[in-house]
Amino acid sequence: MEKEQVDIEALWDEYFSTGGEEVKNKIISHYLYIVSIVVKRLMPQYKDYSEKDELMSCGVIGLIDAVNKFDRSFGVKFQTYATVRIRGEIIDYMRKQDWAPSSLRKKISNIQDAIEVLEAELNRRPTEAEIADYLGVKESMVQKVLQKSHMFNLVYFESMIYEKESEENVEMSRNDPYLKIENEVMLEALKKLIDQLPERERLVITLHYFEGMTMKNIAKIMNISESRVSQIHSRILMDMRKALQD
């Protein structure tokens, strides 16, 4: 059975003209595939913290929000706008989950402080063994905290990217010169931090965030284990979060 062809532009014309619920539902149904694409992209990062069905539900909410708010005057394709809104809804959901207890947040903060002190003393990035020795704990504990901090820093970093690329934010920036300056300063800070990363770390960030590659595929390219890529990724995000907060 052939899939029914949908004249999506005609549906948009009707929706902008009438605002009818029936035509809106047809538009939402047509673009559900975008939700699947975004969830598939994010699932490898969030699989240990959320179920796929939860992310799909959040994504659908983001899609509905995108249809409700989309305006052709934005000057972008709906698919582009919807992708941003869907991803933003999922990231916002993950950010609101109280998955990191205060005890873990304290350990993350202690490790960040230790890294800062040791970098000043050693003029290089300290090893996990050196961090553990400085804190008087086992190296395995440092490794475990760094692994658990992955989501804590990932959601922070991705939410920043989402906020800066949001079409709604871009629209507000056009009318608010102070917000525009703030956005430009933050984006410039992100670019500088990425440019200053060692080659291997910069490659991880570039392949993951700008090429959309999974940790598994990055590991194959770099000829290291997937767990090692995740470890590098976690440390990068921790460093960048600390730098952006300073």
Dihedral Cα 223, 52, 88, 162, nearest 10 deg: -10
What local confidence, expressed as pLDDT, does residue 34 receive? 95
Confidence of residue 235 (pLDDT cuts 50, 70, 90): confident
Measured between alpha carbons, how far is residue 43 from residues 117, 162, 200, 215 in Å? Answer: 35, 17, 24, 11
CB 90 within 8 A of CB 39: yes
Q: Which residues have CB under 8 Å from 150's CB, separation 6+?
A: 230, 233, 234, 237
Confidence of residue 154 (pLDDT cuts 50, 70, 90): low
Question: What confidence score (pLDDT) does residue 1 get?
Answer: 35
State the amino acid at position 15 in one-letter form: Y
The answer to which of 20-29, 88-97, 188-197, 199-208 has the lowest mean pLDDT is 188-197
Torsion of CA 65, 69, 74, 75, to 10 degrees: 60
Given a cut of 90, is residue 171 above it in pLDDT? no
Minimum mean pLDDT among 2-11, 12-21, 30-39, 186-195: which range? 186-195
Answer yes or no: are the C-beta atoms of 236 and 205 closer than 8 Å: yes
Round to whole Å and give the CA distance between 34 and 30: 9
Q: What integer is the mean pLDDT of 140-151?
A: 78
Among 15-24, 142-151, 162-171, which stretch is predicted with the lowest mean pLDDT? 162-171
Please check the confidence at residue 137 and state whether its pLDDT lies above 70.
yes
User: Average pLDDT in the 118-127 region?
Assistant: 88
- pLDDT mean over 83-97: 82
d(CA 191, CA 175): 24
Residue-averaged pLDDT of the chain: 78
Alpha-carbon distances of 118 from 14, 107, 130, 231, rounded to whole Å? 62, 16, 8, 19
Q: What is the pLDDT of residues 37-86, one digit of tens each?
A: 999 888 877 776 678 898 999 999 999 999 998 988 877 889 988 988 89
pLDDT band, residue 134 (cuts 50/70/90) = very high
Q: Is the pLDDT reported for residue 232 higher than 60?
A: yes
Structure tokens at 120: 């000043």
Q: What domains are there in the chain, each with its CATH number?
A: 100-246 (1.10.10.10)
Q: How crowded is the C-beta side of 196, counted as CA atoms within 13 Å?
A: 10
Q: Would you say 243 and 236 are in contact if contact means Cβ atoms under 8 Å apart?
A: no
Q: What is the pTM of this model?
A: 0.56
CA distances from 92 to 81, 84, 148, 154, 193 (A): 16, 12, 19, 12, 24
How confident is the model at residue 127, as a pLDDT?
Answer: 87
pLDDT of residue 131: 92
